[in-house]
Amino acid sequence: MKISRSLLTAMLAAGAMLICSCGNANTADSGTGAPESITAAAETTTTTMTSATEAPESVTTEPVTEATTTTAEDRTPMFEGGYEAIETDFSRDGKKIAGVLYMPNGSGDFPAVILGHGFGANMANMDGYARAFANEGIAAYVFDFIGGGNDIKSDGEMTEMSVLTEAADMNIVFDGIAELDGIDSSRMFLMGESQGGLVATYVAATRPDDILGLIALYPAYSIQADTRGRTPDIENMPETFNVMGKTLGKIYNIDIMSFDIYEMIPDINKKALLIHGEADSLVPVAYSERAVKLFPDAELVTIERAGHGFSGKALKEAKQLSIDFVKGLV
């Protein structure tokens, strides 16, 4: 059952923040099932009115059957410019997943992008991309992974976070956004930066038929090799350990070593766009160069002199590349 935007707004009135925007904001960037936090309780009653007109007995009428087809034009939403920012939360295993839906103003069903942030960060990292999409008539949802990093609005601690718990979060929000009125569930995309790019790739590989495309910004496909390098004795891993100034739990190592992302990438039968900085010293571009050869249909764009995380000209270029990619498929 689709959840109407008006009903969603009313249900979130106590905590929703409605912000109308007509242009870009100056913002710094750097499982499945219906969401538990948004459940439609109201019943919808449909009243059908039928009128009958009797034809004269001397007149014989032939039934006329009109063929109805759905064209690409019929599916095109009417974008009126600007967007609403709506605080929209979901939950997994009783823990809150906090996020913001940037919904274009207009009518019809809009394509949507689900954006995941990187290791130890929060949704603010992807906010600028989301606003850029919304300004082009593309719905976008940013959220904090449970236990995903600093200053998150979601529940959880980093000691209980792993790539697979973040994949479970992304699955929950993907399905939840797909159920909302005004969203075209047949035209949805996954996007992520760094570790979020690895997570988005994993989710895309496990449900390729549900997405229309994947965007990975400097994806951290290096995490698995890094983890194996720092974990020589798998049988005797410490309960907690430190990575880049963050305290992680044993589950992080166990989960990341339970699969090989390079073996999963060939399962992604939809288009993919990888964007990577040539000067990235944290995740060298070689990891994306290896990956792009394994995707059935992918392009790797490298940005000269850009490192891990984009700003300035590189950020502007990455935003435009991402918008063009989505528009080219919808």
Q: How many other CB atoms sit within 10 Å of the CB of residue 56?
A: 7
Of residues 260 and 230, more confidently modeled: 260
pLDDT surpassing 80 at residue 30: no
* Tokens read off for 308: 């891990």
Residue 38, pLDDT above cutoff 90: no
pTM of structure: 0.80
Average pLDDT over residues 307-325: 98
Q: What is the pLDDT of residues 256-280, one digit of tens each?
A: 999 999 999 999 999 999 999 999 9
Residue 75 has what pLDDT? Answer: 64
- pLDDT-derived band at 236, boundaries 50, 70, 90: confident
- Flag whether pLDDT at 70 surpasses 50: no
Average pLDDT for the chain: 84
Q: What is the mean pLDDT of residues 325-329?
A: 98
Residue 127, pLDDT > 60, answer yes
Q: pLDDT at residue 250 above 90?
A: yes
Rounded CA-CA distance 118/129 in Å is 14
pLDDT score recorded for residue 21? 38
Confidence of residue 4 (pLDDT cuts 50, 70, 90): low
Residues in the chain: 330
Q: Which CATH class is domain 5-21+77-329?
A: alpha beta
User: How large a percentage of the chain has pLDDT more than 70?
Assistant: 77
Tokens of 245: 């100034």
Phi first, then psi: what are they for 16, rounded to 5°? -80, 145
**CA 151/CA 124 separation, integer angstroms:** 10
Query: Would you state the pLDDT for residue 74?
Result: 55
Cβ 292 vs Cβ 302: under 8 Å: no
Is the pLDDT score of 99 beyond 90?
yes
Please say if the pLDDT value at position 300 is more than 70.
Answer: yes
Q: Note the pLDDT tens digit of each residue in 184-204.
A: 999 999 999 999 999 999 999
Calculate the alpha carbon distances from 117 to 279, 292, 317 in Å: 20, 21, 18
pLDDT attached to residue 109: 97
| Mean pLDDT on 85-101 | 98
| Across 19-23, 154-158, 172-176, least confident range | 19-23
Strands of the chain, DSSP E: 19-21, 78-87, 90-92, 95-97, 99-107, 110-116, 139-143, 183-193, 213-217, 240-243, 246-249, 271-277, 298-303
Per-residue confidence (pLDDT) for residue 257, from 0 to 100? 94
